[in-house]
Amino acid sequence: MRPAGVRQGKPRVARDDLRVGAISSRAASGTDGRLSTVLAARESAAFPGYAPVPPAQASGGRPREACTVDTERNAGEFRQDRRTGGRADDPGAPSGGHPMPQSPRSHPITAALHTLCLAALAGALLPAAHAQTPPFPVKSVRLVHTFPAGGPVDFVTRGIAEELTRLWGQSVVVDPRPGGGGSIGSEIVRAAPPDGYTLLTGTHSGMVASPLLNPAVKYHPLKDFTPITQMVNSPFFLITNAQVPATSLKDLLALLRAQPGKLNYGSVGQGSSTHLAFEMFAHTAGVNALHVPYKGTAPMIVDLLSGTLQMTITSIPTVLPHVKSGKLRAVANGSLRRSTALPDTPTFNEAGMPGFESVTWYGLFAPAKLPRAQLKEMNATAVKALASPALLARYGEAGLETVASTPEAFSRFIGEEMDRWSKLIRQAGIKVSE
């Protein structure tokens, strides 16, 4: 009977190799006859000292076990051979023989198996090394925003960029890409690879108003982007040039009704959130004004200060110093509560338009299909940046409310915004050509 663990059939070793080993051993020991008998017996027994282990099961086996050589058993048999001249498990070996010519580990078969084991173990370790997530970032990050430098979006973007630069140890480069009510810059980020190195300060204009109002905008804020966190909310304020003869919302509404279509208002572009906000105000109040679109807040404010433009609805950061200087007038606050930045300005609700609310927001986005683990890490870093005392103070002084939401909460909020504004647009009959 063949001992347990012995391979069936002949071993896959060239017979010439066996003869070479036998000749070398005879030269060393001078015992040609007996050694030849031992080697012949070893060959016929298919090397029972090598106990192959079945390959490890896929459900949890280890590569190391799949190529283990039973060296302890070989060593025991080797010691037995030295005492008896034959193998303990080889009934055909002669008794009283001479010591084996080779130790088990010096045999070519054993050496080859050890080499294969080492190679298999090295190969098994490679996937784990490759699976490790590389550190992020290892180079500068591009943060696109969608309006000209000097406006409220630029103000918010540069604030978060400074804090992310500090936390990441890599530069976060602000890249203004104005135009299209926020759609041009948004489209640039949509087409970028989802590796975290191209991000977007998305706004209500680019992510809600433009997709709903502008047929040329083909992207969707949830299908074509990865929301990371909602950074801030910013109430819209109804602002007029100081020369407009209306010091309150009641006075302004009376003026608009007395001169329908004669006064003008500015927005940051066709289909932008400021365009949508003023049209909702005009529809709710039953008034009409001439729309003058601009490519951003900064050029619009220039005309508003000069008197070329008479009014607008915009967020507070860039107009705040001009309101405090008296060059511009804040007529009403779009939030449901007064702003700490302009506490003397009443809300629309207080000023005579109950329930009217107009608030914009800014959030951090990546292209679609950002890996989940990277999204989690980027959200944690962004939330930490938004919680820094310096940035909280900077945003708070400008009348902004820091949010710092999770990706899930931000996605839900965007979905609700899309539903809410699509209904309002249909009800008011607002179109991008207005």
**Contact by Cβ (8 Å): 151, 296:** yes
State the pLDDT at residue 50. 44
* Cα–Cα nearest to 362, from 162, 178, 175, 182: 182
Mean pLDDT of the chain: 79
Q: Phi/psi of residue 331, each to 5°?
A: -85, -40
Q: Coil, helix or strand for 3?
A: coil
Residue-wise pLDDT for 53-78, tens only, equals 444 444 444 444 434 444 444 444 44
Does this model's pTM top 0.85? My answer is no
**Contact by Cβ (8 Å): 77, 83:** no
**Contact by Cβ (8 Å): 229, 383:** yes
Contacts of residue 380, defined as CB under 8 A and 6 or more positions apart, other chains included, come to: none
Residue-wise pLDDT for 235-285, tens only, equals 999 999 999 999 999 999 999 999 999 999 999 888 888 999 999 999 999
State the pLDDT at residue 296. 83
Cα 223 to the center of its chain, rounded Å? 15
State the pLDDT at residue 368. 98
State the pLDDT at residue 179. 83
CA dihedral sign, ordered 133, 136, 141, 146: positive
**Contact by Cβ (8 Å): 197, 191:** no
State the pLDDT at residue 247. 94
Bridge-based pairing state of the strands 172-176 and 198-203 = unpaired
Residue-wise pLDDT for 228-237, tens only, equals 999 999 999 9
Query: Model confidence at 36, in pLDDT bands (50, 70, 90)?
Result: very low
In the block, residue with structure tokens 């910013």 = 234
State the pLDDT at residue 344. 95
Q: Does position 315 have pLDDT exceeding 70, yes or no?
A: yes
What letter does residue 209 receive in the DSSP assignment? I
Q: Which residues sit opposite 366 in a β-bridge?
A: 226
Cβ atoms within 10 Å of 15's Cβ, excluding its own: 9
CA–CA separation, 332 and 137 (whole Å): 43
Query: Before 137, cis peptide (omega within 30)?
Result: yes
* Alpha-helical runs (H) found in 286-406: 297-306, 320-325, 348-351, 372-386, 389-397
Query: Before 127, cis peptide (omega within 30)?
Result: no
**Contact by Cβ (8 Å): 110, 167:** no
* Cα–Cα nearest to 337, from 314, 357, 361: 357
Structural domains of the chain, ranges and CATH numbers in brackets: 15-131 (no CATH), 141-233+362-428 (3.40.190.150), 234-359 (3.40.190.10)
Q: For 102-106, 197-201, 245-249, 286-290, which range has the lowest pLDDT when averaged over its residues?
A: 102-106
